[in-house]
Structure 1
């Protein structure tokens, strides 16, 4: 029978964690009682350097029942690294499903994911049916970002975040990806294998505040774009070529104006081209610098995460015993 691990990255989630834990309990009860997963399936909470009571609450959950496991990172490494840490420490499961702790993703979609896995799919994406819960600005920027990724030659799944099922086979292949600059939403489709998607409606956040304000979202999008595609560097070359052609045209125009004695002396004709070329140069240098910075981080080969503490289940606990415990989790 399929052993499931639900991976839940957490950063300052003390307000929503009790409700999340309860609903995960209830889900495990349903899936185990319906014989869709084995009784030793579990949920793994990954504390990404939280500054509140998130880790102590995870410890309390684990001590109450071994179906809850915990992974504490030594500091805040970021959502993608925390997610990778959780996936890397769930190697005893047949399938792993990652989901955020804010309860916005519909837990009932997990049953659909497991059904797709049983049909032979190694990767199953959780995809939002619509973005009605988002503001107009967020919908517009999200659409623009996905289109930009497509233009840059990056394969991505529209309206998919990090709610997905990965088989152990698929994740074993992903282990060969050694990048420090992680953007899992664009990297997972590169694995190939048999893939599909299930659709669900996204709910509003149950408690707490979003950990992705606008500035952080823009930074995450930029990291994703520059981590997966080198086409922006080609844009620098194209821009340089266009500016060079424009400069030749301007030179010819200036020469003709000089020979025809039709030159106009003015501040704008001198300063504006200088500002334009200077701006283009600074933009291109900055873009190249982004890639140089990423190369710098890659060649240093620093660890993508550091584990401070790992709360595991008891390997000697009988499956039948765990089944009886899990069946009373929601009570």
Structure 2
């Protein structure tokens, strides 16, 4: 079992759910795990003040890291990981949401799996989801789009365990600033997963709407933008080849006199314009990516301090 475990919980206006989550952590974690566990709450500049004290935590302590401005869930995770890597002594780090949809009991599974594969990041892969049909439908589309555009498979979210020997590598991966699971895939740090069931929200309403879901999906794809650009270019070349084949076929029909007057020239010119536009746009995207790769990137481990307003420690042991 780990000597020291830190659970990073980013939250924005979820104080009520957070207190219920702490209570469930007390109840569901095995005694040998929780007695060496600390909580790091990353407050993403909440617009609502905390009106109730933290629920009594039977682990070591609770740290509250407050950000200067609202940055979003993924960036809050990156800042939390960077703070732990620099300031806290731990053997393993858990990343989980504050709303309770990541079941604390599954932390036991993550720890057990990590003992079997100590050099890998362990993700909680969803075996059963509790969202509505529309959300699950678009989530399937997102996974298919991710596979087509990046060549990778993504079947997990933020809920994960990071071993100490991978933490300092991870916080120097610039891509986790935009999307944590996508950044891990891009980094080529070895990872594995365990099957878990998604729990229900403990309190309040979800802040994930249709727009934020699309933005989250695009952020995951964006971390593999170079691969995505090349795949789009290859697809564009393939479609251009089909367009050329159709144009040749149209010319053939016109030569043998089977083409409708005006139809061949109109369709042929339209295909030529679409072919040139798609190819040039794809080529422009590839050059933008090459330019991006030559620039200095944001490194969470180096720059995270600019966003940290304060860190408070609460000793809440029984």
The corresponding residue for 2:179 is 183
Counterpart-to-counterpart distance in 2, 1:208 and 1:275: 52
Shift of 1:226: 3.0
Is residue 170 from structure 1 mapped to residue 166 from structure 2 by the alignment? yes
CA separation of 1:287/1:144 partners in 2, compared to 1, >3 Å: closer, same or farther?
A: farther
The range that moved more, 283-292 or 12-21, is 283-292
The corresponding residue for 2:77 is 83
Unaligned segments of structure 1, at least 5 residues: 315-321
Is residue 71 from structure 1 mapped to residue 65 from structure 2 by the alignment? yes
The range that moved more, 280-289 or 139-148, is 280-289
Aligned residues: 307
Counterpart-to-counterpart distance in 1, 2:264 and 2:64: 64
Counterpart-to-counterpart distance in 2, 1:80 and 1:51: 18
* Maintained 8 Å contact 1:154/1:228: no
TM-score (norm 2): 0.78
- 1:129 is aligned, of 127, 130, 134, to 127
The corresponding residue for 2:308 is 308
Shift of 1:231: 3.8
CA separation of 1:17/1:286 partners in 2, compared to 1, >3 Å: closer, same or farther?
A: farther
Shift of 1:112: 2.1
The corresponding residue for 1:145 is 142
RMSD: 3.8
Is residue 105 from structure 1 mapped to residue 99 from structure 2 by the alignment? no
The corresponding residue for 2:92 is 95
Counterpart-to-counterpart distance in 1, 2:20 and 2:34: 22
Shift of 1:282: 6.1
Unaligned segments of structure 2, at least 5 residues: none
* Maintained 8 Å contact 2:19/2:55: no
Shift of 1:224: 1.3
SS of the aligned residue for 2:32 comes to coil
Shift of 1:79: 1.3
SS of the aligned residue for 1:162 comes to strand
Shift of 1:37: 4.8
Is residue 285 from structure 1 mapped to residue 285 from structure 2 by the alignment? no
Counterpart-to-counterpart distance in 2, 1:25 and 1:5: 14
CA separation of 1:283/1:138 partners in 2, compared to 1, >3 Å: closer, same or farther?
A: farther
* Maintained 8 Å contact 1:42/1:67: yes
CA separation of 1:233/1:296 partners in 2, compared to 1, >3 Å: closer, same or farther?
A: closer
The corresponding residue for 2:5 is 4
Shift of 1:109: 1.0
Deviation readout 1:254-292 (Å, 9 max, x if unpaired): 544554555534479627963884498369738955983
CA separation of 1:232/1:115 partners in 2, compared to 1, >3 Å: closer, same or farther?
A: closer
CA separation of 1:285/1:208 partners in 2, compared to 1, >3 Å: closer, same or farther?
A: farther
The corresponding residue for 1:318 is none
Counterpart-to-counterpart distance in 2, 1:272 and 1:216: 41
Counterpart-to-counterpart distance in 1, 2:136 and 2:55: 38
The corresponding residue for 1:317 is none
The range that moved more, 2-11 or 43-52, is 43-52
Counterpart-to-counterpart distance in 1, 2:78 and 2:170: 10
